[in-house]
Structure 1
Amino acid sequence: MATEGLVPITRDYLARYYDKYPLPPLPDGVTTLAARLRDMSADLAAVAPMSPDEELLGREAGGIPAHKIDENMWKNREQMEEILFLLNKSRRPNPLQQKSTPEDDEIACKLDVVETKIKDMLKKLEQFQLTNADNVFNTVMTYMPQDFRGTLIRQQRERSERNKQAEVDALVHAGVSIRDRYKLLWKQQMERRVQLAQLGSATGVYKTLVRYLVGVPQVLLDFIRQINDSNGPMEVQRERYGPALYTLTKLVLAIRLYLHLSLARYGQMKIEKDDLAVLQQAVVIYSEEFGKFTTFIGEVFVNAPFFISAEDAGADSRTSDEYRETIIPAGKTHEVILSVEAVNSYIAWDFSLQQGALGTLLDIGFHVEYISLSGEKTLILPYRRYEADQGNFCTVSAGSYKLVWDNSYSTFFKKTLRYKVDAVPPVVEPAEPVVAP
């Protein structure tokens, strides 16, 4: 299909798509169990006054979840980690660690089952988020020319994600809470979304990048420009699928609140069998329904109309021939000057030699220089002789650079050089899935 034939991605357009994917309703027990757990927590709060942190947790469990779908995903992941922290055997009350009585032993065993279910669900959620992120990135890459620029984008993504992980690791090393770590993770997520929206708006350095993405349909750029808007096209997704996820978020918060209070007051009041049964039932139904939800939303995402490849859009920028050819006589050089505007940009090149007369040596000298404002030259890539040098680049600061192909060592044969070079600004980080803004 031709790019110009694509339909704008509006709320009405998405609503018609989502009509094909009705979400099965949650069991009534989800809401009932969450309310029951909050009542049980209130009984425990009467045993001993709640600390400020416990009061904060109580307000969150009884409050209204965030509106954005992926913020709820991160909130569920945070709560799973908090629950696993509580259930870690080394942090349980001493009677449960030592299984002092048959009753303690039975409770500990049932908590082990709860721990296993939450741990399994956490792994599935982590994989769900990783898979969605990779799917988006790989789709974006279908619009990129299949040369050094695609390699740059991939390496930039890897470096960016390493930097983000280093931020998280530094917090963990400093001993911050799980809550604080997830504040950073969500901040990083929103940074990705802002960058995605900037790409759609083509502002600043992203305007430069858009010229490399000339095959991206305008309807997609218009869509991602509104990706963070509260009343943008994605609001229809929140209306359709948000309520079920909000209900599950409230359930996992209620599970954590009850576990926290019951373990903190275990020395004063052991967990009753009926209460433990409610907890187990809540964890089972939460794991089952949250698993169903992620599977469902993943299918909706993969088939979404905004998740379109370059081939489907009829984009041909990836395969356009941007090479230039020149003849370099014996004893001569060919030079290209590049101007770089931003720090941490790249200069990149891809070249080869065409077969010439019989006996022609298919190699050529090549080096890269930095040219200062005063005209002084600094060698940044040493001279070497190449047959071809494809997909190469180096990180540079702002300034002027000269790429030189050198045939001066030849006394007779000219060389037919086929090349392309570019100055590439710092690349937009890949955005997380637009399925859940």
Structure 2
Amino acid sequence: MASSSKEGLVPITRAFLARYYDKYPPPPLSEDIDRLTTELRRMADRLLEQCPLKPGEELLAHEANLEPPHKVDENLWKNREHIEEILFLLEKSHWPTSLQKKTTTEEEDIGGMIEGIEISLRKTLKKLEMFQLTNAENVFNTVMTYMPQDFRGSLIRQQRERSERNKQAEVDALVNSGGSIRDRYALLWKQQMERRRLLAQLGSATGVYKTLVKYLVGVPQVLLDFVRQINDDDGPMEEQRQRYGPCVYKLTTFALTIRLFLFLSWGRFEVVKLQKDEALVVEQAVHVYTSEFERVIMFIGEVFANSPFFISAEDAGAAECRKVDDYKEIVIAAGRTYEVTLTVDSVNSFIAWDFALIQGTLNLDVGFRVEYVSPSGATTLILPNQRYERDQGNFSTILAGTYKLIWDNSYSSFFKKNLRYKVDAIPAVEPAPAQPAAETE
């Protein structure tokens, strides 16, 4: 992408993304999910009443009582884990011994149901794996679109390919050493978090990317801002979690409840045989789960793939302005400054300010100063009386008259800065005694 196409862009803000997602409300889930989840849990509790938890069952029973994870992608990994665990139980070699023999007509019928739902779950597992692979490629390709199309981009691609080979080798080694499905998915999620760390590391220009990115020009700042903040706990992706997380959370709980009942039932089959009507509940639950889960990931896959990740600073400012009415928005063009002029009527009044760059870059990316303008036009630099944060402060005015707050982007030759600010002049309650001359640099 040509550098001119990046000018004036900022990473997507949560406020703008919220407006975008207003057009795509989450799909309503089938009411059967709540009904079947409740029924399966009741059936599992009845098994536990007749035969309490055995050693090795406590971990799954405890997980079934927890809330699903907050992150959407962690839920998707959890669904994959639950599907694989259910498929493990549904393999004929893992059936209870008497069910494998199918000595009764009822056991023949139950066996047929199990074989049917195993096929359905394997199809859903394949679709979920493809969804995750496609989603990961979309994010990576978005990043690479904004990278310089030279050796730097090639090096990052090579590094990623090498990293993925190493991750797969790590998984293979765990499986070959007898690691469980739970162990494998714990490792897969750890690896996913490592991918996030490396992506944020690219944005921060640290570690393996420090020399490659920070000291070699050409990587646009908008890209570095994007990859650094994309997974912040309260960043743009939190809007996805708030909008679409609840339906995914419900499906995670549904899958876990199906797994819990089958797991407990298989462990107690010789004492409390699975009844045909219970098997019918499981069959219906798997049918509802697979159809609803596939519908949800298809929906969110399309919405996420089409979500804007870079927008103009003006659009970002407009979205933020709707959210916080007492702040003002301004875009400071490259090579320009922006001034706010305040008239102070009485000595010892306070001028307080609060500002931030919407795209989340460091405040050092735009200069800031306060000046007193005398009646003759001479200016005197004023230092803050107190600084609360890097972008907040106040000072007590020593002279009545005109003050200017100036944001300086004159040193930038490429990037506009989208500024959100609030400035208040708070008058003195009573006349103040004489003060020494204003402090200057």
Please show how residues 83-102 of structure 1 align to structure 2 within 5 Å: 83-102=86-105
Match of 2:171 among 160, 168, 184: 168
Q: Which amino acid aligns with 1:245?
A: V
Cross-structure match for 2:244: 241
Cross-structure match for 1:55: 58
The question of 1:287 aligning with 2:290 is answered yes
Percent identity reads 65
Cross-structure match for 1:130: 133
Cα distance in 2 between the residues matched to 1:278 and 1:215: 59
Match of 2:209 among 201, 206, 210: 206
Cα distance in 1 between the residues matched to 2:105 and 2:216: 66
Q: Which amino acid aligns with 2:69?
A: A
The question of 1:153 aligning with 2:151 is answered no
Please show how residues 179-198 of structure 1 align to structure 2 within 5 Å: 179-198=182-201
Match of 2:40 among 28, 37, 40: 37
Q: Which amino acid aligns with 2:202?
A: L
Cα distance in 2 between the residues matched to 1:8 and 1:145: 18
Q: Which amino acid aligns with 1:161?
A: E
Cα distance in 2 between the residues matched to 1:293 and 1:23: 8
Please show how residues 378-389 of structure 1 align to structure 2 within 5 Å: none
Cα distance in 2 between the residues matched to 1:258 and 1:215: 56
Cross-structure match for 2:78: 75
Task: Please report the TM-score for the alignment, with normalisation by the length of structure 1.
Answer: 0.67
Cα distance in 1 between the residues matched to 2:18 and 2:219: 23
Cα distance in 2 between the residues matched to 1:307 and 1:124: 29
Cross-structure match for 1:378: none
Q: CA RMSD in A?
A: 2.0
Cα distance in 2 between the residues matched to 1:41 and 1:54: 12
In 2, are the aligned partners of 1:114 and 1:280 still within 8 Å (CA)? yes
Cα distance in 2 between the residues matched to 1:175 and 1:199: 35
Cα distance in 1 between the residues matched to 2:101 and 2:229: 56
TM-fit CA distance, 1:67: 0.3
Task: Please report the TM-score for the alignment, with normalisation by the length of structure 2.
Answer: 0.66
TM-fit CA distance, 1:146: 3.6
In 1, are the aligned partners of 2:230 and 2:237 still within 8 Å (CA)? yes
Distance 1:141 1:2, change over 3 A: closer
Cα distance in 1 between the residues matched to 2:23 and 2:56: 44
Cα distance in 1 between the residues matched to 2:81 and 2:224: 32
Cross-structure match for 2:398: none
Structure 1: gaps of 5 or more residues: 309-437
Distance 1:22 1:44, change over 3 A: same
Cα distance in 2 between the residues matched to 1:209 and 1:42: 57
TM-fit CA distance, 1:212: 8.4
In 1, are the aligned partners of 2:148 and 2:219 still within 8 Å (CA)? no
TM-fit CA distance, 1:157: 2.0
CA distances 1:248-272 after superposition (whole Å, capped 9, x unpaired): 0000000000011111111112212
Please show how residues 311-390 of structure 1 align to structure 2 within 5 Å: none
Cα distance in 1 between the residues matched to 2:145 and 2:18: 26
Cα distance in 2 between the residues matched to 1:43 and 1:68: 32
Cross-structure match for 1:263: 266
Match of 1:19 among 2, 22, 37: 22
Cross-structure match for 2:113: 110
Between the two proteins, the alignment pairs up a number of residues equal to: 308
